[in-house]
Structure 1
């Protein structure tokens, strides 16, 4: 490869950010083959914003040159400094700033104390326990797959339900390609046993089982499932989704299964979002007339479904004729919003997190071993527990109130980020979750 006249490396997605930083900025190392491209005289790296996020010039630009400071960049710099020197935000001293290339930022505020207080107030304003979450609103939650709602925002979903909001959960795709064949056989055996035990429902259960078993048995690796098999896998995912909602006291009637056409290839590769997909999503929005819309805003989905589903939601909102709703973007099973980037942080107690994990357990076809786990080998519930607890722990290290776990969201309206009003330092966030 190094003998080529020109080399181009292309990377996309936030799950590539860490390895890209090692490849571009790290020492040449045989464990990361891409680092050898540093030795090539004509190598170029093309990245999207997500893949470039961990590069020094992006994540901590004050270390490499002058910075055009704004409120968001100040919060990033101060929280970075607090973690670097292992102090809470309010305990940062003037010397800490000077010793870590942040004198220009300090000069904007004179001394450390007012800057520390401003950043502390900005962070604490993000925290919204149940008492500060919406009440009596119309809400649509878009879930790309049938488990993304509980994985990414299960704690918040439960709180919104208990706050008396009118909630519709719209599952955008069937997720049927993520069901193993043995799951289908297990349900078919149950169907046959029910038919054997209850003659009144017997019908053609045994014949149907044999038909599906033959379809599964004749399938070769890489083959697309027969339509009846895909339908059974879709029904398995739908049943799991409604069971998960019932964990929070919600009802199956609150679920809408959209089965968007772009996903219906039976294979990992999907079609582009088309007008038919947008029309289905727009119908849900038009019927609900929501005050709030929740959607997956992450870019780490290993097979791109989340990105396509977000595109469908954004295009549907563009043609929606009603008042623009708030759009709360959550992240999926692979990443969480950094506390500096999040608009809202929703605290969870230990009991809240336990209930959320119980809802994830209801997705039995995805438990123990998911067909598309991405680069993380842990089960989804393990990732959720670690990620939500890590968010709360980071805030505690920064000197904010201690919570057991947290979910994070970025809030927009009409494509523009909404910022929280800053509260005085003396104010306390809702500690009841």
Structure 2
């Protein structure tokens, strides 16, 4: 079933099923093409937008309209708010509207979803602090109207405080608009698997997956609180209107489960199917597993484009277990693809067309650029070798003029014990060879003192930050030397947005864009490589891509010649063969060279500080990912390769 907002409702849902089907609605519509508009399997109206920023604008539009409507009627607005990386864009857009368009929050009351327990309000991990830093301090809201569950009260007082939180929501007339994110377990707020539909604000134990997801923020899973205070499912469902947001490929599976699956206590987000005015806002990667996107031919007639044909035949081949050239009429008929055969005349015609299209994507060394100026943008100091080590090696062999531009220092991803090891090395070398400066001992003392007093999540002093940066720079140079390049090919941009010393970064600003633009103007590349991956745990890849896109936009406006852009993905996922424009095969020896380059990043080896849910080392992920891409082509009946990387040429 698909919920729609009753026509008599006094407010509009943030995006109804009808609006979700309108590709011209809103700013930043989805670019997904070739599918159908059939949303019959979706039990929650779902609006697919182009990217994170488009979602932020769309949701801010609704909040803005609601506040102004109620202010005009002399009424207050009650908002339910969420934390995390997903809603930050909404908060930044609301701040902009307050600053530039006069949107006032003086009559707005807010209730936050949750808070860790125990948690001091001034902790860098506190949701109290998050909300003031990311929203409240920048708008004209009355602090008395801000409500956040307490994380700093004695345990014996928690139950009473939770009951009072519920009572205060009722006294305010209930929540008018509730903003939600979704966790990988499908939790909303901290309503973990097993939360009941009747649950109210309470103290809960956090699921292991939730704690792993939060480990990076706390500099280690062992530092993540085991409990939290959260609104209950029933509290959330009492809101008059709900917007739930999800971005990135890593959310695709749980989005489909929440939107298309049965209601299940193990997935709290499925309870939103019972709500009459809930809208799911997702970007294209998060929508990738929805039936209307992944396999639209199973729902209705489709407009067969070349790209959709490739996706459909690849899906069919992998589903039935036959190579593409062996697919039969029955295979097509049994899997709702008869119309595709009818268009082309016979299974053989379709099979041959798709086989050739996929085969044309494969480019060995001889088909890759030669004698070109190339800039490889690497968000962190190891993304180059992790994600594109194979092609980097081939491009260097082909005599291209290569620049590897490391956009951030990556210094927060260095363990403190690495700093101690390097400082100890310097002191020992000084004692043996007297090569240190007179200030070395003082420097070492400041570093040791800082690390001895440091608590998890504390911002490092400049000396420690610089040491961690230098460690990663040295590793980066060592890595590209394996590829046949040298330190002369490395550029360390050290973009300002990253230099907070904390996991959470500043927004991309003019200074970041200026640095990227100046590099492009100086190098005048024919081709650039950009991380198109959106699944890194804290959005650094997305923010680096934003800086590059803005710099390219400025150059375009100035009439400059723009380079060709190839997108690669990071350590978490690879481009599917159907989406990739270029597939670059690697021999066993070439994959070994790539892994050797990854090994040079010793501070990230054995146990990286921010591994995400995948606890394998980066080289292990790469080994399987690149071999799996090649194996997929083999299963489709194409040429057999040992390993393969995938790229998308941006159009």
State TM-score, norm by structure 1. 0.93
Aligned to 1:259: 494
Q: Deviations over 1:142-173 (max 9, x none)?
A: 00000000000001100000000000000000
Give the CA deviation at 1:41: 4.4
Shift of residue 200, structure 1, vs aligned partner: 4.1
Among 314, 318, 325, the residue aligned to 2:549: 314
CA contact (8 A) 2:427 2:436 kept: no
Distance 1:43 1:317, change over 3 A: closer
User: What is the distance in 1 between the residues matched to 2:247 and 2:326?
Assistant: 38
Q: Is the 8 A contact 2:405 2:493 kept in 1?
A: yes
Displacement after TM superposition at 1:39 (Å): 4.1
Q: What CA distance in whole angstroms lies between the structure 2 residues aligned with 1:210 and 1:201?
A: 14
User: Counterpart in 1 of 2:194?
Assistant: none
Map 1:7-406 → 2, pairs under 5 A:
7-201=242-436, 203-320=438-555, 321-406=559-644
Distance 1:200 1:119, change over 3 A: closer
The secondary structure found in structure 2 opposite 1:22 is helix
Q: Counterparts of 1:31 and 1:348 in 2: how far apart (Å)?
A: 42
Structure 2 residue matching 1:235: 3-state secondary structure:
helix
CA distance in 2, matches of 1:135, 1:30: 57
Question: Secondary structure of the equivalent of 1:136?
Answer: coil
Give the Cα–Cα distance (whole angstroms) in 1 for the partners of residues 274 and 591 of structure 2. Answer: 48
Would you say the 8 A contact 1:143–1:149 is kept in 2? yes
Q: Which deviations, in whole Å up to 9, do the C-alpha atoms of 1:126-154 show, x marking residues without a partner?
A: 00011111111110000000000000000
Q: Tell me the SS of whatever aligns to 2:505.
A: coil
Kindly provide the CA deviation profile for residues 295-325 of structure 1, in whole angstroms up to 9, marking residues without a partner as x: 1001101101100101111111222254221
Q: Deviations over 1:90-131 (max 9, x none)?
A: 111112111111112111101111111010000000000111
Corresponding residue number in structure 1 for 2:156: none
Deviates more, 1:3-12 or 1:347-356: 3-12
d(CA) in 2 for partners of 1:26 and 1:349? 42
In the alignment, the residues of structure 2 paired with residue 93 and residue 131 of structure 1 have an alpha-carbon distance, to the nearest angstrom, of 35
Compute the displacement of 1:20 (Å). Answer: 1.5
Deviations for 1:173-219, whole angstroms, at most 9, x for unmatched residues?
Answer: 00111111111001001011100110243633333211111111222
How many residue pairs match? The answer is: 413
Q: Quote how far apart the aligned CAs of 1:269 are.
A: 1.2
For residues 318-339 of structure 1, give each alpha carbon's deviation from its aligned partner in whole angstroms, at most 9, with x where no partner exists.
2225422111100001111010
Deviation, 1:25, is 2.1
Separation in 2 of the partners of 1:40 and 1:156? Answer: 49
- Contact 2:256 2:289 (C-alpha < 8 Å) held by counterparts: yes
After the TM superposition, list the runs of 4 or more consecutive aligned residues in structure 1 that deviate by more than 6 angstroms: none
Contact kept, 8 Å, 2:325 with 2:352, in 1: the verdict is yes
- Name the SS for the 1:201 alignment partner: coil
| Further displaced range: 32-41 or 134-143 | 32-41
Post-superposition shift, 1:7? Answer: 4.0
Question: Partners in 2 of 1:42 and 1:318 — Cα distance?
Answer: 38
8 Å contact kept, 1:128–1:345: yes
How far off its partner does 1:64 sit? 1.0
The whole-number CA distance in structure 2 between the counterparts of 1:52 and 1:376 is 22
- Tell me what 1:428 maps to: none
Structure 1 counterpart SS, 2:427: helix
Does the 8 A contact of 1:195 with 1:203 survive in 2? no
Distance 2:256 2:515 in 1: 40
Please, which moves more after superposition, 135-144 or 201-210? 201-210
For 1:370 and 1:126, how far apart are their aligned partners in 2?
33
Contact 1:289–1:322 (8 Å) recurs in 2: no
Q: Which runs of 5+ in 1 are unaligned?
A: 417-433
Shift of 1:42: 4.2
Instruction: Give distance in 1, aligned partners of 2:430 and 2:509.
Output: 42
CA deviation after TM superposition for structure 1 residue 24, in Å: 2.0
For residues 367 and 154 of structure 1, the distance between their equivalents in structure 2, rounded to whole angstroms, comes to: 16
- Alignment match, 1:430: none
1:40, distance to aligned residue in structure 2 (A): 4.1
Q: How well do the aligned residues superpose, as a CA RMSD in angstroms?
A: 1.4
Q: 2: distance between equivalents of 1:220 and 1:4? A: 40
308-317 vs 143-152, greater mean Cα deviation: 308-317
Structure 1 or 2, whichever has the larger Rg, is 2
Check conservation: 2:408, 2:498, Cα contact below 8 A: yes
SS in 2 for 1:300: coil
SS in 2 for 1:50: coil
